[in-house]
């Protein structure tokens, strides 16, 4: 197995945090890192003890769910709550930060932002990051790098396709399945 880079490791942490999201519109995770150590993490969800979108639906005003706190804000607020300084730190996040999170990131003193997916990238947010001297870098994240069962999954898929061939399935019937397997496992 190939060892993943620090950037891949921290981005994987963000994606794991996103699985805790209670937002039904978009699951986002964020990790604050200093000296290659995780100091805080957050996901988008409701206030502690509050109603969650997964239970009560989104509370949308002006095309935004106001029930949730964004992942970046939750990570920053965790630092505030526990007295953890973030000035000079790096933020990893699954999606490009919104304008409000961008302003909070700048004010908190974060120096570097790495994001995995473009999402409504705001031009003004990019301008603010540049004006503040904060480096922003898109790092595509490949979930397969952290799927430690991919070899056995591929083996199972191939066995199933072979069994279907043995049972009389024609090549043209199997072709779409073989294409999907190849796409999933990038063969």
Q: Which residues are catalytic?
A: 72
CA gap 93, 115 in Å, rounded? 5
Distance (Å, whole) CA 87 – CA 90: 9
Neighbours of 4 (CB within 10 A): 14
d(CA 30, CA 86): 14
Contacts of 5 (CB under 8 A, 6+ apart): none
Q: At what angle do helices 123-131 and 99-108 cross, to 10 degrees?
A: 10
């Amino acid at each position: 197995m190939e060892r993943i880079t620090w950037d891949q490791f921290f981005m994987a942490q963000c994606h794991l945090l996103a699985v805790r999201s209670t937002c039904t519109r978009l699951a986002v995770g964020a990790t604050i890192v200093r000296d290659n150590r995780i100091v805080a993490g957050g996901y988008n969800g409701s206030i502690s003890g509050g109603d969650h979108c997964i239970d009560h639906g989104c509370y949308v005003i002006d095309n935004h769910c106001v029930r949730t706190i964004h992942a970046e804000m939750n990570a920053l607020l965790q630092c505030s709550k526990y007295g953890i300084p973030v000035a000079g730190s790096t933020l990893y996040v699954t999606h490009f930060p919104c304008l409000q999170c961008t302003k909070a990131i700048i004010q908190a003193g974060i120096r570097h932002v790495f994001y995995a997916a473009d999402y409504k990238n705001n031009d003004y947010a990019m301008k603010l990051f540049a004006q503040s001297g904060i480096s922003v870098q898109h790092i595509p994240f490949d979930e397969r790098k952290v799927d430690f069962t991919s070899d056995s999954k591929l083996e199972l898929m191939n066995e199933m396709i072979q069994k279907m061939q043995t049972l009389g399935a024609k090549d043209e019937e199997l072709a779409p399945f073989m294409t999907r397997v190849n796409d999933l496992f990038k063969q």
